[in-house]
Copies of this chain bind each other. A is one copy, B any other.
Amino acid sequence: MKGLTQDEQLDGQPADSRDAILVAACRAVAEQGIRGMRLEAVAREAGVSVPLVYYHFESRPGLIRAVLRYVGAAAPSEVLRERPPGFSAYEALEAALISEIDDEPRVRDASVIWGEVNASAVFDPKLRDELRRVNRAWSALVAEAIESGIADGSVDPTVDPAVAAELLISLVDGLCARWLGGTLEVERARRLVAAALRAALAPRRASDSIE
């Protein structure tokens, strides 16, 4: 807390300073990467002091962990938590995973941030616990959708939901890295997600193996 009390810190600060810092940090990571993110620049962009950044997030890794949580909570796959009626679990899952790959700035920035935190965790073990937590949450969400698909008949009943979920999210990450790194077109990446879902999850009709 750098010797300042909460009242001193918050005196005169807008109530949503924490959010403003998070938004500024997300933009900084999306534009320059984690290693290019400067706390001074984030504070300036958010219109707050650097000590207030420390007050809310404790440390630089603390801010990065909060950025990861913030991005994870807004991820396109989160729509799976409340599936609209009239769609099979397979259709909902396909729509959710495809929408993770999109040149719309908000989605693209979130994907850049996700990739950055993953890449930084290779060199910074302090990020790993949070990364594991967010990864597990995503994997569990996809596994639940696969289980629902087995129940509603839209997914092959011989599929192992946990294995298929981990494979699918790892694949989406790998395709995102290619898309963001400029080696794969966004539309092809999206078609590849759809193809992978068919190969991994679609029920196999008897005709598939007879023809």
Chain A residues proximal to chain B, CB less than 8 Å:
32-33, 35-36, 112, 115-116, 118-119, 121-123, 125, 127-128, 131-132, 135, 163, 166-167, 169-175, 177-178, 180-184, 192, 195-196, 199-200, 204-206, 208-210
Contacts and interface: CB of A to CB of B under 8 A. Distances in A.
| Count of identical protomers in the assembly | 2
Contacts of A175: 170, 174
- Chain A binding site: helix, strand, loop or mixed by DSSP? helix
Contacts of A177: 118-119, 170, 173-174, 177
A26 to B, nearest CB: 15
B170 A132 contact: no
Contacts of A182: 121-122, 125, 128, 131-132
B183 A167 contact: no
A-B pairs, 7 with minimum CB distance: A174-B174, A170-B174, A121-B181, A119-B119, A173-B174, A128-B182, A204-B209
A112 B121 CA distance: 11
A174 B183 CA distance: 15
